[in-house]
Amino acid sequence: MSIKSRKQWLFVVVLVFVVLLTGCTRGGGNSADEPKPEPEPQVAVTEQEDEQPKSGEEQQAPEEEQTIDMQGKPVRVISWGYAGGEKGTEAGEQRIALEQELEKKYNTKFQFEQIPWGDIQDKITASIVAGEPIADVFLLERYRAFPAMVQKDFLQPIDGILDINNEKWPAEMRMTGSFDGKVYGFSTAVGGGGGIYYNKAILKKEGLPDPQELHEKGEWNWDTFLDIAKKSTKDTNGDGKIDQYGLALTSVNFVPAFIASNDGDVTKVVDGKLAFTGDDENAMEALRFYSDLSNVHKVVKPNQTDNWEDYINAFNEGIVAMRYGEGWEGGGIQTNLGNDYGFIFIPKGPKATAYHNAMQPTLWFVPKGANPDAVRIYAEYLLSYMPKEGELDAWTESLFADQKSLDNYMEMGKIMKPKDWEGIPNFGQEIRKVWDNIGAGKETPETGMKSVRPVLEGLLDAAQ
């Protein structure tokens, strides 16, 4: 993968990070004071993230082999950040040159329009309903497109527009961009994902194994994770109070990640609709584990500020051994801990045979009524920046203290399960209330999920 495409990927990751900092959390049921977990990777994005469908439909010939004459019609692109080349950098100038080359080749003009993150879905939707889509391709998080925009027939599948089996596309894209057997979203590179950050200094001081070594021996699972958390939770100064903890967390990202790590999910697609599965056997086992961490083993640092940043700050202060985090957070951790930290997969749950995590990818989508030839041209534009295998930009490399952590991060983009339930109004708020109560010991997983199930099913029914 080439540095050019990675820089595009980075560009959008940074944009999404800015969105996170500004508290833009609409459309997915997130409460105003909760972070949006990584797009992640995540994200995330302009040309990135993953996935793959079950569709067996025949694909068209590779985009670059097609003969297209746009007869002056534009290629219209909408995103919340500028998606074209900008003057002043080598990469920007190269993109501008490519735009000019393709404009001449296809008798067209690129039109890059920026719309604020929170307004894109509404404006695109309104234009589709009016029968005059304002873009040929637009950028959006998966959970905001699926299931609502598919179920309302607002999106065109790309299966018949692009050759998604072309080896230039990442194989994971065909899963990340699919819903109910058809591919709607596309991207050109696999982004990273979320995992467990751990403080190497604490583990070394306590004589505990490095999670990376456990991973390499095939022993990184809930049991070894819990063992480290328990043995690193202690009173270090003899005053009778716990001042070092094994874990800091917030339910917003930790719970979906650990449900996924046990090969479970909060929802699944049944007959084209999301059905609730957040209380099935695998999910309940994850919720019991989550509850026990705080209420039985008492390895979780209490939140002192009722703010989601509390767990981040505690880890950065060096008083917590492990926490969940997205790849882009590595820079802030490095500022505080130097290179004494690692980044590893979410440990495997008892029901899992492989590593899994939850994700919120950002993809390019095609609105109903868009010009298929414009989509093909834009796909060619993106594919011209496909990274060369193994290449990374300096910024991404700087996020991690060692090569193995960086390698883990890149692999994580391939094992994510989508959180499409984030797009159901109020669903996230309602289920997180119960998760928080479970973590605080106010409800058991059984009573909490039994009480909220009718509410969640009602929200799913109302939205689909």
Q: What's the Cα-to-Cα distance from 224 to each of 219, 315, 347, rounded to whole Å?
A: 7, 20, 8
* Residues 6 or more apart in contact with residue 289 via CB below 8 angstroms: 222, 226, 258, 349
Closest to 364 measured CA to CA, from 93, 87, 112: 112
Closest to 446 measured CA to CA, from 284, 322, 295: 284
Closest to 433 measured CA to CA, from 31, 8, 3: 31
d(CA 320, CA 337): 12
DSSP string, 404-459: HHHHHHHHHTTSEEE-GGGGSTTHHHHHHHHHHHHHTTSS-HHHHHHHHHHHHHHH
| Calculated CA dihedral for residues 270, 175, 80, 91, nearest 10 degrees | 180
pLDDT tens-place string over residues 157-199: 998 899 988 888 887 888 889 999 899 999 886 667 789 999 9
Which letter does DSSP use for residue 210 in this model? P
CA atoms within 13 A on the CB side of 133: 24
User: What's the pLDDT score for residue 191?
Assistant: 64
d(CA 274, CA 431): 15
C-alpha angle with apex 399: 263 to 142, nearest 5 degrees?
A: 45
Label residue 89 exposed, middle or buried (CB < 10 Å: 0-12, 13-18, 19+): exposed
Label residue 194 exposed, middle or buried (CB < 10 Å: 0-12, 13-18, 19+): buried
Do 116 and 142 contact (CB within 8 A), yes or no? no
pLDDT tens-place string over residues 203-245: 999 999 999 999 999 999 999 999 999 999 999 999 999 999 9
DSSP string, 238-266: SSSS--BEEEE--HHHHHHHHHHHTT--S
Q: 443-456 burial by CB neighbour count: b if 16+ within 10 A, else e?
A: bebeebbeebeeeb
Label residue 388 exposed, middle or buried (CB < 10 Å: 0-12, 13-18, 19+): exposed
Do 37 and 129 contact (CB within 8 A), yes or no? no
pLDDT, block means (10 residues), the chain with 464 residues: 40 38 35 34 33 40 66 97 90 92 98 95 96 97 93 94 88 85 86 88 98 98 98 96 96 94 96 95 98 97 78 94 93 93 97 91 94 97 71 77 92 85 95 96 97 98 94
d(CA 409, CA 399): 10
